[in-house]
Amino acid sequence: MAEYFCGMGEWAVGQAGDILCARGLGSCIGLVLIDNKKRIAAMAHVMLPSSNGRSDMPTKYADSAVTFLLEQLRKNGSSMDISSKMAGGAKMFNVSESSLLDIGRRNAEALENSLREAGIILVSKDVGGSFARTVTFDVMKRRFLVKTIGRGEVEI
């Protein structure tokens, strides 16, 4: 059993017994892709909505994270029957909803588009608000926990 921490723009793949974690998610999003048949999952700590053609850190960007995580799951023996969950995407600055500076909203929208394009169901999400989150995913139990200071812990 191991705990894998995903820092900003980082990713991890876990098997039964492993815990995947992303801390301090403000406008960033913790995305987990879950194999529905095998005990394997992949997590990314997504920072920005668009890579603008950059390929150096694919899980840093919402438009490339899903495809990259799917490749990693395939390499690790996934059945490729995949679902997803995500949390984060807070509005950390006082900007209008339509503002390009509302990175949290833009991250969530871009990830939902990428998931839709890949044919992956988004089972649940906890996005928005103005508070940071920490997420953990227990691969064996398939539990996605979202912790928020002052709001406690919820499973989504």
| Catalytic residue positions, numbered | 28
- Which residues lie closer than 8 Å to 77 by C-beta, 6 or more apart? 38, 40
Find the radius of gyration of the CA atoms of the chain: 14
CB of 49 closer than 8 Å to CB of 107 = yes
Q: Which two tokens stand for residue 138?
A: 């227990």
Of how many residues is the chain composed? 156
* Residue located via tokens 């390499």: 75
Distances (CA, A) of 17 to 3, 41, 110: 9, 11, 31
